[in-house]
Amino acid sequence: MIIWIIAAFVLLTFLSLFMIPKAWLRYLLTALFGGLTVVSVALLTANMDSHFGMEKTTTTTTKQVYAMTPEQSPIKAVTSKKIGRDNAVLVYKDQPSDKEAKAHFAPDTKNMVATSKIRSSAEKTNTSSAQVKTVITNWTYKSDFWEFLFAHKNDDNTVSVRHHLQVPENWQIIEK
């Protein structure tokens, strides 16, 4: 919406500059609409550069997962394949009834921008069951007014997605 507001102020500045015959009214309205144009452009610049009108929000979810080994096996394990410096593809079962373990958090080569925001890791912790803790950080608008001004179609405000697989101390993390 801010783009349309800027366009309207530019048009009003132009019309007041060239269409109003009285000099004092022409100068007054040109200064007013020109100033509003500058303020609108400054607001847009602040939003694009510093996320003006937005704040970071974090959502944390936890999901129980299961070992990739058969249910009867005395050894419980998951697999971690390191990708790059601080990312991993993790292999585990989503349900205890799953026949095969699946790879999770593999990079999507068709959407590298979204992929670059996702990180995953695995570690042994003092827990009774395996779980994936997901922390999603997004930019959200502080109010409906700011969202009305700055939001646009296909707005991706995701800052980061962190998946952290936590397994009990007696489990094995097989690193490839």
Predicted confidence (pLDDT) per residue in 65-111, tens digit: 999 998 888 899 999 999 888 889 999 999 988 889 999 999 888 98
pLDDT of 139 above 80: yes
Q: Which two tokens stand for residue 163?
A: 């998946």
The amino acid that residue 84 corresponds to is G
Amino acid 84: pLDDT:
82
Rounded Cα–Cα distance for residues 161 and 60 (Å): 10
Amino acid 73: pLDDT:
86
pLDDT of 55 above 80: yes
Residue 162 pLDDT level (bands cut at 50, 70, 90): very high
Rounded Cα–Cα distance for residues 30 and 9 (Å): 10
Residue 18 pLDDT level (bands cut at 50, 70, 90): very high
The amino acid that residue 130 corresponds to is A
Residues near 18 by beta carbon (within 8 Å), at least 6 away in sequence: none
Which of 31-40, 130-139, 145-154 shows the lowest mean pLDDT across its residues?
Answer: 145-154
Residue 122 pLDDT level (bands cut at 50, 70, 90): very high
Amino acid 71: pLDDT:
82
**123-128, long-range: CB within 8 Å, 24+ apart, which pairs?**
123/164, 123/165, 123/166, 123/167, 123/173, 124/166, 124/167, 124/168, 124/169, 124/171, 124/173, 125/166, 125/167, 125/168, 125/169, 126/168, 126/169, 127/166, 127/167, 127/168, 128/168
Q: Which two tokens stand for residue 160?
A: 């980061």
